[in-house]
Amino acid sequence: MNNPLLTDDLLPKFDHVRTEHMEPAIDQILSENRMKIAQLAQQDHPTWETLAQPMQATEDRLERAWSVISHLNGVMNNDDLRKVYKRCLEKLTEYSTELSQNAELCEAYKKLAASDEYKGLSEAQRKSVDNTLRDFHLGGVDLPQEKKERYANLSMELSELSNRFSDNVLDATQHWYKHITDVEELAGVPESALEGAKQAAKQKDLDGYVITLDFPSFYPVMTYCDNRDLRREVYEAFVTRASDMGPDAGTWDNTPVMAEILKRRHAMAKLLGFNNYAERSLATKMARSVDEVLDFLNQLAAKSKPIAEREFAELKAFAKDTHGVEDLQAWDIGYYSEKLRQERYDISPETLRPWFPVNRVVPGLFAVAEKLFDVQIEAKPDVETWHPDATAYCISRNGEPLAWFYLDLYARQGKRGGAWMADCRVRWRNLRGQLQLPVAFLTCNFTSPVNGKPSLLTHDEVTTLFHEFGHGLHHMLTQVDVLDVSGINGVAWDAVELPSQFLENWCWNPDSLALIASHHETGEPLPDDLLQKLLAAKNFQSGMAMVRQLEFSLFDFRLHAEFTDEAPTNPLDMHRQVRSEIAVVEAPAFNRFPNSFSHIFAGGYAAGYYSYKWAEVLAADAFSLFEENGIFDPETGKAFLHNILEKGGSQEPMELFKAFRGREPEVDALLKQSGITEDAA
């Protein structure tokens, strides 16, 4: 058959996609796109139909193929695919830089922006043209030839380095494991985690139990295992991944990779006239200046740290008084925090697991979305996927399909850790006037079902699923027909987390919990006493959690803001400095957290990790309107749908927020939601 990556099908033919199809598809698309773009750039009187629309067609064709390749690299990684992915990524980076520096094409867009036609375009079309011109500038189109070439080389090198960083983290995570034959060494670890450890051992043809650095395996050891030496061993392996320390010291060391990434980012920012990469990052965000971001983070830190200090003092006193621990270490925090939570609230994540089976949570999540946004969600088991764990679904309204998505929930070998949403197809009206529906990939790394029992989730994992589905709804419920600003396209990065963090609120309300929680054996609803304990414990150690996130945000932002050629910022030193100012838990000298911080070194969050907190303010304030009107109030749901989810990137996020909320966001909503108030200090 023809190359399955070159078809016009809405849903990819995963049964037919092979590694050998990937590079030829990318080569063909890039070659044809280059020819098309050369023609489009020659126009004297470009219009939306003769320039912008055909350009979007070239973008869509490439994205349709690349989204599948990139996705498979993340969820079905192997040596062959990794090599092909790397080669394709180099070609794409070269093409992307070439495109953003195409002076003739930029000139054509300038003519369109200056024409009478521009004034008559829709708001989404004008925003698309404006963003394109901004991105030409940020891609180096205005630079003299010599600097253009320098910028292009830096882009290529940066792309390769980021990919290497990601590969190193994956290899370091998947290489280490601890084989245990005596179950007594795992005393305290819940049965569900022991079953998973048994399954991991079987997969390696070993008897007994295997602990890995995948989160569903790592977390129960750190939280429940009575064996302090084992906790320390697992903790050390985790926080030294891809570094010069720990059990695999030097094997996949990201230290030099980080230094080279920072050097290139800084050089690219300077070429474009910015003082540092943090300034360059803010050129496409809501926040207007480096000082505004630092003030925002420091303001939250000032309000949170006293509460975090009080919480940590309570934890130390508890560990000493009840367990005789004089020297509380980093590998003890999760363990004694859990003991304190159980004593104070008589509840633990493990107590709740039986009430959150995947086969109840997923339909419950869908029911929440259906009630809020007047949609219907239906599984489509006949649709081809890449793995038996993955399932396809269709979202419709009144029988009319709106979007599709794939759900891939469980951790496995060859799958990148964490949870994420990615586009598979973007909604837009194509050159033939046909509407392409959006398609999303939703990926998590939960514990697989074991021995015929359903996967039982912690409440944190339920929240993660809701978070990613919020991103998915932003992508899928858009009503924008212009590719560049449809769904999450064109949305300022510090606003992109609004729908995801917003949807998390439905994991904490009795009315919505009734839809997502029931016992996996009896089907009984979550008992009221457990519900009350869950809600009472919601803000347990919220000050410590807040300063931990602020530590990551300040580390990332200052790392990029303070870098200079004369004194390149050292990630390890910067992390220690930020921790000394804000953290309440002391990290051991061997901690190498930056070396596996993929969000900023291999993802899109460089000088942008603060976006989580920034958007959390928006999300908390948006949810406060539902608290006032009722969490399933149809009119409020409709207002959020119409003003936020449907609009995509077609308008500035602050304008959209104000249209929904009637005013600008207020930080107090987040502090109140987190229990961080004057009374709590």
> What is the spatial distance between Cα 188 and Cα 46, in angstroms, rounded to a whole number?
69
> What is the spatial distance between Cα 552 and Cα 320, in angstroms, rounded to a whole number?
29
Query: Are the CB atoms for 37 and 104 separated by under 8 Å?
Result: no
Integer CA distances (angstroms), 515 to 395, 531, 660, in order: 19, 13, 26
Q: Is 468 a catalytic residue?
A: yes
Question: DSSP H helical segments within 101-208, as ranges?
Answer: 103-114, 116-120, 123-138, 145-175, 191-203
SS3 149: helix
Please count the residues of the chain: 681
The 8-class DSSP code of residue 51 comes to I
The dihedral of CA 409, 175, 260, 562: what is its sign? positive
**Out of 236, 338, 461, 468, which one is annotated catalytic?**
468
Token pair 């989204």 is at which residue? 67
> What is the spatial distance between Cα 245 and Cα 563, in angstroms, rounded to a whole number?
25
Query: Are the CB atoms for 468 and 364 separated by under 8 Å?
Result: no
> CA angle, corner 605, sides to 219 and 287, nearest 5?
125
Token pair 């998390």 is at which residue? 504
Burial class (CB in 10 A: 0-12, 13-18, 19+), 672: middle
The 8-class DSSP code of residue 379 comes to E
Buried b (16+ CB within 10 A) or exposed e, 75-114: bbbeeebbebbeebbeebbbbbbbbbbbeebbebbebbbe
Burial class (CB in 10 A: 0-12, 13-18, 19+), 194: middle
Question: Annotated catalytic sites, by residue?
Answer: 468
